[in-house]
Amino acid sequence: MNVNTLDDLLSAGVSGRKILVRSDFNVPLDGSTITDTGRITASIPTLKALLDAGAALVITAHLGRPKGEADSEFSLGPVAEELSSQLDQYVQLAEDVVGSDARERANGLTDGDVLLVENVRFDPRETSKDDAERAEFAKELASLVGEDGAFVSDGFGVVHRKQASVFDVASILPSYAGKLVQAEVDVLQSLTGDTKHPYAVVLGGSKVSDKLGVIESLAPKVDTLVIGGGMCFTFLAAQGYSVGSSLLQDDMIDTCKDLLARFGDVIALPSDVVAAEGFAADAPHETVAVDSIPEGKMGLDIGPESVKAFAEKLGAAKTIFWNGPMGVFEFPAFAHGTRGVAEAIISATKDGAFSVVGGGDSAAAVRTLGLGEENFSHISTGGGASLEYLEGKELPGVTALAK
């Protein structure tokens, strides 16, 4: 898709101008502590480029799912602190979104200043299904940067949402794709275009229903489709195995039977799993074959034989897309499957494969397990957006930037 880029904006000049930037700061929190700063770090190149060129920035973002009203639990306060640290300069935080504090602070910005307004989802118009309501809110957001302002879309994790700060502002201000959005779209286009084979896709996570669209879209195009995580148990049930108390989507069993009938030659399922007595970090557990999961026990990871088999398939690949952990990687006892598959992808990457980690929990696992982001070709910041693009769906926040 042909869009105006950040380079186009910088060429036009931003010194003395205020630029509205939509970033993705929807980071995980433990209380007020950010447990994974990856999305903030990914935003820095675009913000730095604009600041170095003399712009003043008004940044919008959301955090969590507040119900259209201010809620201290979802304040961007921790984000402002982390952003100040990573930019090495003070980042103001407005106490509202488009209210008197945000307007007053925006009016006072000078070249090189940064203002982060509060969580845009504190205003119900951000996510409204009413076009007029969203347009009204977008107009108020745009007014923060004035008539000479511009909009830079750099929150890839939200471009699949038709929301005011993502979609509607692009029809009001001159609009550009930030470095992050541009890079993400370029990478995803390479996964759907002239892709090098063997092409392997690794899918994990909890629900088959969340990944059904991407399975339908990619299965006819790939050489190997590895399935792990909680979603594998619905496939195993479709093969007739008892899965104990493992996560199971009963209403998807027939769908999985159909997928196996059509794509059984490319779908690879675990042969063994780590079965635990309960969902807890210290739960007693054992490795069992998939046809021997004890009644009352739940699978929380794929087993070592599965890792070995999956690694062999991934080792031959020239293109790899991974979305979703193989187990409950947050618990060390059940992180071995995710680590093993990730290490196989790293090994393939070092041998020349093009590897993409499709955001979300997969990206968090890379950082949590200390696997090194530099060991993969690309780590996406938007799991949902990545999947929807690969399903062939239109991304409203990207189409809004089209020239």
Binding residue numbers for (2R)-3-phosphoglycerate:
39, 121, 161
**Token pair in block for residue 275:** 């079965």
- CA-nearest of 174, 115, 116, 111 to 148 is 174
CATH of 195-390, one of 3.20.20.120, 2.60.120.10, 3.40.50.1260, 3.40.50.150: 3.40.50.1260
DSSP letter assigned to residue 169: G
Average pLDDT for 347-373: 91
Q: Is the dihedral of CA 304, 213, 401, 151 positive or negative?
A: negative
pLDDT at 1 over 70: no
Q: How many residues does the chain have?
A: 403
**CA dist list (Å): 396 to 55, 95, 160, 192, 266:** 26, 29, 6, 18, 32
DSSP letter assigned to residue 60: E
Question: What is the Cβ-side half-sphere exposure of residue 208, based on CA atoms within 13 angstroms?
Answer: 24
pLDDT digits over 238-279, tens only? 999 999 999 999 999 999 999 999 999 999 999 999 999 999
Q: Which amino acid is at 211?
A: K
Binding residue numbers for ATP:
211, 299, 330, 359-362
**Active site positions, annotated:** 39, 207, 360, 384
What's the Rg (C-alpha) of the chain? 22
Residue 229 near residue 324, CB atoms below 8 Å: yes
Strands 224-227 and 267-268: parallel
Binding residue numbers:
24-26, 39, 62-65, 121, 161, 211, 299, 330, 359-362
CATH topology of domain 6-181: Rossmann fold (3.40.50)
Range with lowest mean pLDDT among 128-132, 155-159, 270-274, 386-390: 386-390
pLDDT digits over 72-129, tens only? 999 999 999 999 999 999 999 999 999 999 999 999 999 999 999 999 999 999 999 9
Binding residue numbers for substrate:
24-26, 39, 62-65, 121, 161
- pLDDT category at 190 given cuts 50, 70, 90 is confident
Residue 38 near residue 78, CB atoms below 8 Å: no
Q: Is the dihedral of CA 107, 110, 111, 116 positive or negative?
A: negative
**Token pair in block for residue 99:** 């209210």
- CA-nearest of 401, 399, 200, 237 to 315 is 200
Extents of the domains making up the chain: 6-181, 195-390
pLDDT at 336: 97
Share of the chain above pLDDT 70, in %: 100
Average pLDDT for 184-213: 90
The DSSP element (H or E) to which 300 belongs, if any, is: strand 298-302
**Token pair in block for residue 271:** 């042969």
Domains 6-181 and 195-390 share a fold: yes
